[in-house]
Amino acid sequence: MTQPVSNCPNCGAKIVFRWSSSVQTVCEFCKSILVRTDVDLKKVGQVADLPSDSSPIQINTEGKFGNKAFVVVGRILYEYDQGGWNEWHVMMNDGTSAWLSDAQNEYALSLSSKAQNLPAAAQVHIGQQFIWNNQPYTVSVITPAHYRGVEGELPFQYWDKTDVTFVDLRSESRKFATLDYSDPEPALYLGELVEFDDLKLKNLRSFAGW
Amino acid sequence: MSTGAPPLSGPPKPQAKALNCPKCGAAIVLRSFGQAETVVCASCHCILDAKDPNLAILQQFEIETSDIRPLIPLGTRGKLRGTDYEVIGFERRSTQVDGITYCWHEYVLYNPYKGVGYLSEYNGHWNDISICKVLPTVDHNMFGGSSLTANYLGESYKHFQTADANTDFVLGEFPWQVRVGEKAAVTDYVHPPRVLSSEQLDQEVTWSIGEYMYGREIWETFKLPGRPPEAMGVYENQPSAVRTNVTGMWVAFAGFVVFLLALMSGFAMRAKKEPVFHETYRYNRADSKAEASFVTDVFELTGRTSTVEVKTYAPVSNHWIYLNYALINQDTGQAWDFGREVSYYYGYDSDGSWTEGKQNDDVVIPSVPPGHYYLRIEPEADPSLSGIPYTVDVTHDVPVYGIYGIAFLALLVPVIIISFRAYTFERSRWSESDHPPMQLSSSSGDDE
């Protein structure tokens, strides 16, 4: 796979895109938020250092989902009134992108999915049922959250966003769905709760004493 | 853990944090790398905000006794089901049922990769608990009242108990906002060795799944000194002491009975039941004084080694006659000695008429080889009898049934014992539940 290479317009450091469809990345050196244009990179902002957290995953962590290998290329750290969680942007070896979330060591993998007639945020209430891909889902939690920070490559531009509402939907199996209201058009993610051991993760962070 | 190539600007390696209690200054260690919501100062019993760099005091609690100590000290590590866990928190909880307080202990476990897990201990019974990732479903009964079964990952769990759990004492770190005095409604559903629990605090319901563990397993896991406290009674999700599947055992037993019956009828059909000797003699007291015993004519047993049945008939009435028999092989001299009594008594008493004994007797001699045989007979009789006729019949190759009866009993007895033990174990289990067995609910003071 050819990896597009550019230089940071701010500090000149080499910027390598691991995922050809990435729209945004963060310069590892100067923390500039860089957005890809047709020709080069444009600095649109700057991120503060991410607060220290305890996710064992980091950029470059590799793993497996089913028979597909993936590598972690980016991250969004969300915060809500009871804590925070990470959505790690992963690139699958078939070129698609997915999200590996880590909420207090509860892991889930989800993919952006298309569906007709997604409800508006104001119309959703707890207990409501939806059927996507023949699978019924029930709304379990509605979480107002905000972006706490970003790192690495993302499939969309994040830099001007602050608050976002998430609607979590559960099924009677390990399958779950998330409605993301960060854009005017709601986005649907369908995923599965996964066990840490099943992900066969490599290049994890290490913890002092463990 | 493999570390590989760290990213260029990776965050520093997380370290366990050492802090001091803002109230009393005692050392506080945060072992869970920022996962804890609250941490408790062990010296002054302050509940502190673990998310606050200054450890704001959230609650101070009083303890009645100072002897509440975790059996597994905080900071102890052990490999539980393949994962290294460190004990980071401990709480004592209690519930009141019929005016009696029952206490149990919960331990918070932490692994930086796998997250938080729990252990519970009640009277020496342990459970390895984790939060359910998939939501269980609860069936409501036809009256819409309290539900009796819950389903989780394709398995059905029976309602055991619903009670209010009070938090009495806390120590160490908790991944939630813990407070002493807080009450949660806890409902347990069991499917030994697992227990499915729902815990409701305000509007939030948390489901967890536990699996029974023995004290010795905990002691091995955490390499604790000494011996674990003895488990008292039968716990709600303790695996039955009877490991046998009782229903399966009865099915196997029924199968064996069918097999026995088939075997029995097979042998009964195969038996020749060949009459080889028939003679009637007369016992005379006068004669017997001289020469008591005599021999019969020779008869032949042909074919395979088989059973020989000797039938005796005497028309006794309120008398007895006793015959000393010897079945003797004319060719080899081999002899089978046996004595048979024929007696028949009857009469009337306050209960009405009665009888005892009968005028017929039969006996089967097993494994008699073919050959030429005769009987030596030595009769004795009731002194009141002067004489009586008696008939001797010999039949070769008769089916025997007694052995099947013995086989049946030999199988039935352990099946019944195991069933009874399984039943008493389940009875002890359910006697502690909201649904005690009938007989126990009416009797009081029946404590284990």
Interface test with B, best of A55, A197, A210 (most B CBs within 10 A): A210
Phi, psi of B284 (to 5 degrees): -125, 125
Determine the pLDDT at residue B222.
96
Least confident residue range of A18-27, A185-194, B380-389: A18-27
Question: Tell me: the pLDDT tens digits for B159-212?
Answer: 999 999 999 999 999 988 888 999 999 999 999 999 999 998 877 788 999 999
Here the tokens at position B374 are 């005769």
Determine the pLDDT at residue B448.
40
Sign of CA dihedral B162, B166, B170, B175: positive
Evaluate whether B121 touches B214 at the Cβ level (below 8 Å). no
Question: Tell me: the pLDDT tens digits for B249-303?
Answer: 999 999 999 999 999 899 888 888 999 999 999 988 877 665 678 999 999 999 8
Q: How far apart are the first and last CA of chain A?
A: 36
Name the residue facing A207 among B2, B112, B135 (closest C-beta).
B112
CA distance A53 to chain B (A): 7
- Reported confidence tier of residue B145, pLDDT bands at 50, 70, 90: low
- Can you tell me the distance from the alpha carbon of B128 to that of B106, in angstroms, rounded to the nearest whole number? 10
Mean pLDDT of A29-48: 79
**Percent share of chain B, pLDDT over 90:** 60
Residue A32 has pLDDT above 80, yes or no: yes
Determine the pLDDT at residue B289.
64
CATH code that applies to domain B272-398: 2.60.120.380
- Can you tell me the distance from the alpha carbon of B199 to that of B186, in angstroms, rounded to the nearest whole number? 5
Name the residue facing A196 among B34, B114, B135 (closest C-beta).
B114
Site of tokens 């023995």: B214
- Can you tell me the distance from the alpha carbon of B392 to that of A170, in angstroms, rounded to the nearest whole number? 86
**Half-sphere exposure for B25 (CA within 13 Å, toward CB):** 0
Q: Does A143 contact B at CB distance below 8 Å?
A: no
Residue B100: burial class (beta carbons within 10 Å; 0-12, 13-18, 19+): exposed
Residue B139 has pLDDT above 70, yes or no: yes
Determine the pLDDT at residue B440.
47
Phi, psi of B249 (to 5 degrees): -65, -40
- Can you tell me the distance from the alpha carbon of B199 to that of B167, in angstroms, rounded to the nearest whole number? 13
List CB contacts (< 8 A) between B113 and chain A. 56, 105, 196, 204, 210
- Reported confidence tier of residue B129, pLDDT bands at 50, 70, 90: very high
Phi, psi of B414 (to 5 degrees): -65, -35
Q: Is the peptide bond before B193 cis (omega within 30 degrees of 0)?
A: yes
The contacts of residue B398 (CB under 8 Å, 6+ apart) are B271, B273, B307, B308, B309, B364
List CB contacts (< 8 A) between B34 and chain A. 52-54
Q: Where on the phi/psi map is residue B405: left (φ > 0), alpha (ψ -120 to 50), or beta?
A: alpha
Is B2 in Cβ contact with A50 (below 8 Å)? no
- Reported confidence tier of residue B8, pLDDT bands at 50, 70, 90: very low
Evaluate whether B320 touches B382 at the Cβ level (below 8 Å). yes
Determine the pLDDT at residue A3.
64
β-bridge mates for residue B336, sequence order:
B327
Run of H or E residues at A191: strand A187-194
Determine the pLDDT at residue B288.
60
Is B35 in Cβ contact with A206 (below 8 Å)? no
- Reported confidence tier of residue B69, pLDDT bands at 50, 70, 90: confident
Residue A184 has pLDDT above 50, yes or no: yes
Sign of CA dihedral B338, B339, B343, B349: negative
Least confident residue range of A196-205, B64-73, B305-314: B64-73
CA distance A24 to chain B (A): 18
β-bridge mates for residue B324, sequence order:
B339, B378
Number of H helices, E strands in chain B: 5, 26
Q: Does A193 contact B at CB distance below 8 Å?
A: yes
- Can you tell me the distance from the alpha carbon of B338 to that of B361, in angstroms, rounded to the nearest whole number? 13
Determine the pLDDT at residue A35.
85
Evaluate whether B159 touches B435 at the Cβ level (below 8 Å). yes
Domain range annotation of chain B: 17-221, 246-267+403-440, 272-398
Phi, psi of A70 (to 5 degrees): -140, 165
- The residue type found at B230 is E
Angle A85-B118-B104 (CA atoms, 0-180°, nearest 5)?
A: 140
Here the tokens at position B350 are 């306050």
> Quick count: other Cβ atoms within 10 Å of Cβ B292?
12
Here the tokens at position B437 are 């067995």
Q: Does B34 contact A at CB distance below 8 Å?
A: yes
β-bridge mates for residue A146, sequence order:
A79, A163
Residue A207 has pLDDT above 70, yes or no: yes
Determine the pLDDT at residue A179.
95
Name the residue facing A54 among B2, B14, B84 (closest C-beta).
B14
Q: Does A104 contact B at CB distance below 8 Å?
A: yes
Evaluate whether B368 touches B307 at the Cβ level (below 8 Å). yes
- Can you tell me the distance from the alpha carbon of B106 to that of B174, in angstroms, rounded to the nearest whole number? 11
Residue B384 has pLDDT above 90, yes or no: no
Residue B363 has pLDDT above 50, yes or no: yes
Q: Indicate yes or no: pTM above 0.80.
A: no
Residue A92 has pLDDT above 80, yes or no: yes
Residue B12 has pLDDT above 80, yes or no: no
Angle B193-B197-B201 (CA atoms, 0-180°, nearest 5)?
A: 160
- Can you tell me the distance from the alpha carbon of B204 to that of B184, in angstroms, rounded to the nearest whole number? 10
- Arithmetic mean of pLDDT over chain A: 87
